[in-house]
Structure 1
Amino acid sequence: MNKKRILFFIYEMGAGGAARTLLNIINNLDRNKFAPVLVTLNYNGSYVDELKEDVVFIKLDTKRLSRSIFKLAKIIRQERIDVVFSTIPRVNTIAIFSRILSLSSAKSVIREADNLGGDFKTNLQLLAFGTIYKMAHQIVSLSQGVKDNLVTRYKIKENSIKVIYNPIDLEHIQSKIYQGEIQNEWQSVFKTDDKVIVTAGRLVKQKDQVTLLHAFAKVNSEIDSQLVILGEGPLKEELIVKSEELNIRERVHFIGFQKNPYSYLNKADLFVLSSIHEGFSHVIAESLAAGTPVVSTDCKSGPSEVLAGGKYGSLCEVGNAEDIADNILRVLTLPESERLALIEKGFERARHFDAKEIVKQYETTFLETLS
């Protein structure tokens, strides 16, 4: 059979979960059936050098999403693309319009990655996105909660949406743990007798690291602990000031984006997610795969699905520092036998999201859309 050419369009192959998801899909696609083409705006993404060598990578000569429509349409024509796949609302709308303007027979598959909504203006914007989404040939949501939100807020018909969980590359994670090392300046953090807690994500309001700092202050008052924060973002200075106010600054370590976070996860005693909302929470699944117990807020809508309602990790009330702290303390003080059993259960759950299996669902979706 002729290989189907799948164009993956994303803002940049940067430091977020969406880029990691695309990386896992692209690298694990069956090369006997599919030929992947990656298109980004003019940015140097952190994950580009992890792409397999046979991936056609095209960087548009613009950093403005609004100026990429006709450029992308031209590529769809020239590369004889069969399916255009995109993720994130604004990128999805551009991909849909570009596919239409290409005047080609390409099909559009879009992926919704978060449980968005809130005030009147935001909900109105989601309705507008929903109107455009209906022009796609297939919509993928990365959790049941996101699907429910698409039906409720975007007004998309339920039968137009397929749920496919995020793929995590288990072999890649284990390889990174085996090969990777913690940077010299941070090794001392992991070599004390203190309990090490890791969190990861952009330093933005959605991730609610402020509440986590309050929870950590309580934890540290009872158990000598270190908090390692992986990620970058606009709230870094605000979070530093908050850690000073809470008298925990010397125990909170802002180490920025790490291309290989798995060594840090693997060496930590616990991973904590304090988000206000998530679509799936890729990093929870990756933490389980790295052998790290998880405490997470029970935010809409991913963590509860990843952790199966609390079977594979602890779920806490959103914005409740006391609840988060109590769950952290409970996990950190488990007897060794229970801790090891929790880690083993985490491995068991991580296998449900193995890229080799999840990507097969994407392959089936692409072929069904084309047929």
Structure 2
Amino acid sequence: MTNIQKKKIVFVLLSLEGGGAERVIINIIRHLDNRLYEVFLILFEAKGPYLSSIPGYVNLYDLKKTKSGLFSILKIIFSLIIIFRKIRPNTVVSFHNMANVITMISRYLSFIKCNLVIGIRHYFHEDLIKSFNVLNLFLYKNLFKYANCIIVNSAELGKHSAQFFHIKHDKIKVIYNPIDFENINNLKNEYLGTLSSDQFILAVGRLSHEKGFPYLLKAFSLIKEKIHENLVILGKGPDEEMLKKMASDLDIKERVLFLGFQSNPYKFMRNARIFVLSSLYEGFPNVLLEAMACGAPAISTNCPSGPGEIIENYNNGILVPTADEKALAVAMLNLLKDENLRKKFSLEGSKRVEDFSIEKLMSQYEHLF
């Protein structure tokens, strides 16, 4: 049998904390043929719930970042240069704004020739831009265009990125986030615990501004007297205490359950009466696809970017305007009261997400490698 020269692929991430980009990378790694690819994963910090999901054949590098600041960044760049020169990869893939910048600088200073693929995973909303310091924004807008390829996870985000970063359209590749149905099906039937099946509204996401949870809490407060379902929120983040106080102020504290990050959200999705995404902006909402894959009837804001490319309004879900608690409340109440509509959304939603199976999308990733 002829020996096949494996292609060397290096993935660079900040960590494996519980975000959408991290799940995407792990899904890609797990579905790459290790007979054809030698896979390396470099983490600035080897932490996060997805560490246990790394296949045994992956070469893991932990850069042990413990501090912030210029010295820490320079140390990471130096470490990456050494690793790149040692591995001599065919392709380097990075999926995070700051990781993209550091990876690009390190690749350049290592004097190696390789294909550099970066991922832009979210819409650069005005509020997000304001959070960047001047140097970071300068680096993002002036370095990203030098990558060989930029992967975006929605067509709308591709148009936005081309304009915002002054990137040529032929460098941008739209590849939707892949869904690992096998993994979801293996986990969704786990025991739910003390929660009653089909008796709660579910929301999942980082507890931060862009997810729009205040509008969800306000919407729930508007219909609380008309429904018996409670609201379950999965996730952690900087706004947790503010949201809990808001629930108390709205007199819904006893009916809103903040259950933190869950390594298996699918058992909640399978048992939820409805699923709600209240985001102000997204890159591409994995969690919406995953909920629909579990059969949860879905409502989402029509935020930039992604939901409008997943949901066909009132065919496989409901789209509502962003930052509009009244419209969200009406949609939630209507769906909770209409069993036939829930059954329709559950069936049609499950069909829609088949287009995002990892088996269908892996060939697009492999073409870049």
What range describes the TM-score normalised by the shorter chain of this pair?
over 0.9
1:36 maps to 2:42 = no
Q: 2:6 aligns with which of 3, 8, 18?
A: 3
Unaligned runs of 5+ in 1: 367-371
SS of 1:278's partner is coil
Aligned equivalent of 1:369: none
Q: 1:250 aligns with which of 254, 270, 277?
A: 254
SS of 2:241's partner is helix
CA distance in 1, matches of 2:344, 2:307: 20
Deviates more, 1:38-47 or 1:272-281: 38-47
Q: Residue 87 of structure 1 contacts residue 110 of structure 1 at CA under 8 Å; is this kept in 2?
A: yes
Aligned equivalent of 2:175: 164
1:76 CA displacement: 1.4
1:128 CA displacement: 3.8
Q: Cα deviations across residues 147-206 of structure 1 (Å, max 9, x unaligned)?
A: 11112211111111010000110110000113x222x4xx2x325xx7411111111111
CA distance in 2, matches of 1:121, 1:152: 18
CA distance in 2, matches of 1:42, 1:127: 25
CA distance in 1, matches of 2:346, 2:292: 7
Q: Residue 69 of structure 1 contacts residue 94 of structure 1 at CA under 8 Å; is this kept in 2?
A: yes
Match for 1:93: what amino acid? V
CA distance in 2, matches of 1:335, 1:241: 33
Q: Cα deviations across residues 318-338 of structure 1 (Å, max 9, x unaligned)?
A: 1100101111111112234x4
1:102 maps to 2:113 = no
1:285 CA displacement: 0.5
| TM-score, with structure 1 as normaliser | 0.92
CA distance in 2, matches of 1:9, 1:152: 25
1:19 maps to 2:50 = no
Aligned residues between the structures:
358
Aligned equivalent of 2:235: 231
1:181 maps to 2:191 = yes
Q: Cα deviations across residues 212-257 of structure 1 (Å, max 9, x unaligned)?
A: 0000112222111211110001111111111111111011001000
1:357 CA displacement: 1.5
Superposition map of 1:280-319 within 5 A = 280-308=284-312, 311-319=315-323
1:240 maps to 2:244 = yes
Alpha carbons of structure 1 residues 12 and 310: separation in structure 2 relative to 1, 3 Å = farther
Q: Residue 125 of structure 2 contacts residue 281 of structure 2 at CA under 8 Å; is this kept in 1?
A: no
Deviates more, 1:327-336 or 1:244-253: 327-336
What fraction of aligned residue pairs are identical, expressed as a percent? 34
1:277 CA displacement: 0.4
Unaligned runs of 5+ in 2: none
Q: Cα deviations across residues 85-105 of structure 1 (Å, max 9, x unaligned)?
A: 011211111111111122212
Q: Cα deviations across residues 322-367 of structure 1 (Å, max 9, x unaligned)?
A: 101111111112234x42222111111111111111121100122x
Q: 1:358 aligns with which of 358, 361, 367?
A: 361
Moved over 3 A (4+): 119-128, 308-311
SS of 1:296's partner is strand
CA distance in 2, matches of 1:175, 1:111: 28
CA distance in 2, matches of 1:301, 1:115: 7
Superposition map of 1:188-203 within 5 A = 189-190=195-196, 195-203=199-207
Aligned equivalent of 2:165: 154
Q: CA RMSD in A?
A: 1.8
CA distance in 2, matches of 1:356, 1:335: 33
